[in-house]
Amino acid sequence: MMVHQRSGSVPRVSSDLELLASGNEADVYALDECRVLRRHRWMTDVSGEAELMAYVGSLGYPVPEVYAARGGDLEMERLHGPTMAVAMAEGRVPIGESATVLADLLRRLHDLPPLPGGTGRILHLDLHPENVMLTGRGPVVIDWVNARDGHPDLDTGLSALILAMVATDGEHVWSAPAGELLDAFLAVAPGDPFRLLDDAVRVRMRQLSLDDDGSLAPAVARMLGES
């Protein structure tokens, strides 16, 4: 699956480009009304992520279109609309509806054919409300940097764990709605979000560069109904 190279190369970042968002690993700049540039802050190779996005997009899964990829730079479609997290916080989307959409996005992803040569189903491994954009063409899933193949229950469990982490963080502005969303999500989630929970904890520890799982213990207890 080849990524469409519309311009042949990823544009350089100039000082007059609008910074749209900054994450832990990368910054996103507006190139124009239709395109953005996501640039990693250190050496990395986004070609695998771009190819995976192109693959799932070719099967009808809602992802941004990728135009070019080089090194740590990814030029892709600019999405217009709020994240699911912002829409929920502002009361524009009911929590129950958000839970259903999140579960459906996971289910649709896991129902896709495996990657060529893959050993399991395609997993996003970071699918939560801040990585779902609500656009004019419907919900679109962003940030595929952690995606790989594996068992769907790991993906579902990790999504639930991330919600539980926010729910148990009393200082987080979205703590209360995250708890409500977690309960609603667990009621409609595909597969078994508890079966590979230990593996989900280990994956999240690696993502956050944690040495032990102590900080995740309250989230696990919340998922299991022990707090």
Q: pLDDT tens across 175-201, in order?
A: 999 999 999 999 999 999 999 999 999
- Which residue type, as a one-letter code, is found at position 23? G
The architecture in CATH of the region 18-77 reads 2-Layer Sandwich (3.30)
Written as six digits, the tokens of 76 are 């892709």
The model's pLDDT over 7-22, given as tens digits with 9 standing for 90+, comes to: 345 555 555 789 988 8
Query: Coil, helix or strand for 42?
Result: coil
Record the pTM: 0.91
The model's pLDDT over 68-100, given as tens digits with 9 standing for 90+, comes to: 999 999 999 999 999 999 999 999 999 999 999
Q: What is the number of other CB atoms lying within 10 angstroms of the CB of residue 212?
A: 8
CA–CA distance, 106 with 138 (Å, rounded to integer): 15
23: nearest Cα among 144, 140, 138, 182:
144
- Which residue type, as a one-letter code, is found at position 151? H
Inter-residue contact 197 to 216 (CB < 8 Å) = no
Cα separations (Å) of 149 from 3, 17, 123, 159? Answer: 19, 35, 5, 15
Going from N- to C-terminal start, the domains of the chain cover 18-77, 84-223
